[in-house]
Structure 1
Amino acid sequence: MSIVIRDVREHELDSILALNNNAGSAILPLDAARVRSFYDNAEYFRVAERDGNLAGFLVGFGSDSDHDSCNFAWFKERYPHFFYIDRIVVASRRRGGGVGRAFYADVQSYAELRYPLLCCEVFLDHGADPALLFHGSFGFHEAGQNVMPDVDVRASMMTKELCSYGWVRETYGDELPDLPWVGKPRRHAAGANQATGT
Structure 2
Amino acid sequence: MIRDIEAADLPALLALNNSEAAAVNELTLAELTAQVALALSARMTADGSGFLVAFGAETPIQGPNHAWFVGRGEGFAYIDRIVVALQARGQGVARSLYEDLAARGLTLACEVNLDPPNPAGQAFHARLGFQPVGEAVDPRNGKRVQYLMRG
Q: TM-score, normalised by structure 2?
A: 0.93
The change in CA–CA distance for 1:127 and 1:93 in structure 2 (over 3 A counts) is farther
Match of 1:131 among 114, 118, 121: 121
**Which residue of the partner structure matches residue 155 of structure 1?**
145
Read off the aligned partner of 1:137 and give its amino acid letter. R
In 2, Cα distance between equivalents of 1:98 and 1:66:
31
> SS at 1:30's partner residue?
coil
Greater shift in the superposed pair: 82-91 or 120-129: 120-129
Q: Percent identity?
A: 36
**Which residue of the partner structure matches residue 54 of structure 1?**
48
Q: Displacement, 1:22? A: 0.2
Read off the aligned partner of 1:105 and give its amino acid letter. E
Structure 1 gap ranges (5+):
162-198
In 1, Cα distance between equivalents of 2:26 and 2:142:
14
Read off the aligned partner of 1:31 and give its amino acid letter. T
Task: Could you list the structure 1 runs, at least 4 aligned residues long, displaced by more than 3 angstroms after superposition.
Answer: none
In 1, Cα distance between equivalents of 2:29 and 2:136:
26
Q: Displacement, 1:122? A: 0.8
Structure 2 gap ranges (5+):
none
Max Rg structure: 1
Match of 2:37 among 35, 40, 45: 40
Q: Displacement, 1:62? A: 1.2
Read off the aligned partner of 1:25 and give its amino acid letter. A
In 1, Cα distance between equivalents of 2:3 and 2:35:
15
CA RMSD in angstroms comes to 1.3
Read off the aligned partner of 1:10 and give its amino acid letter. A
In 1, Cα distance between equivalents of 2:122 and 2:113:
9
Task: Give per-residue Cα distances to partners, 1:110-162, cap 9 Å, x unaligned.
Answer: 2x1xx3x221111223441111111111110111111110111111100112x
**Which residue of the partner structure matches residue 141 of structure 1?**
131
Q: Displacement, 1:78? A: 1.9
